[in-house]
């Protein structure tokens, strides 16, 4: 019984922690600058999907993701030098 409660607490904690750490930038390799691509927001040429921005990004680019909910099953980062904020 205590194991089940501990497991439920741990899973809940992970979801809460994941939600509160979403503003921490994810850096892949050593970022060197480059173009900035935007996901969400209302600017011209902004992406609606994070994966589309990653696919179009080049090594050294930054992807800025506006606050919001993005429904994507898998995100594959295949760049060696990319900053996601």
Q: In the numeric block, which tokens belong to residue 19?
A: 């939600």
**What's the pLDDT score for residue 66?**
96
Q: Higher-confidence residue: 25 or 13? A: 25
**β-sheet with 62-65: strand ranges across:** 26-28, 82-84, 62-65, 36-39
**What's the pLDDT score for residue 28?**
53
**What's the pLDDT score for residue 5?**
47
Burial of 28 (0-12, 13-18, 19+ CB in 10 A): middle
Is the confidence at residue 20, as pLDDT, over 90?
Answer: no
Q: CA nearest 23: which of 58, 54, 68, 55?
A: 68
pLDDT tens-digit profile of 21-80?
A: 444 455 555 555 689 999 999 988 999 999 999 999 999 999 999 999 999 999 999 988
The b-or-e profile of 49-71 (16+ CB within 10 A means b, else e) is: ebbebbeebeebbbbbbeeeeee
Break the chain into its structural domains and give their ranges: 24-84
């Amino acid at each position: 019984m205590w194991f089940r409660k501990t497991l439920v607490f741990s899973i809940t904690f992970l979801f809460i922690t994941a939600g509160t750490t979403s503003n921490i930038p994810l850096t892949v390799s050593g970022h060197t600058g480059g173009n900035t691509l935007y996901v969400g927001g209302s600017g011209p040429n902004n992406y609606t999907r994070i994966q589309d921005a990653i696919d179009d990004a080049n090594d050294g680019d930054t992807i800025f993701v506006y606050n919001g909910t993005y429904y994507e099953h898998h995100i594959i980062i295949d760049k060696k030098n990319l900053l996601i904020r």
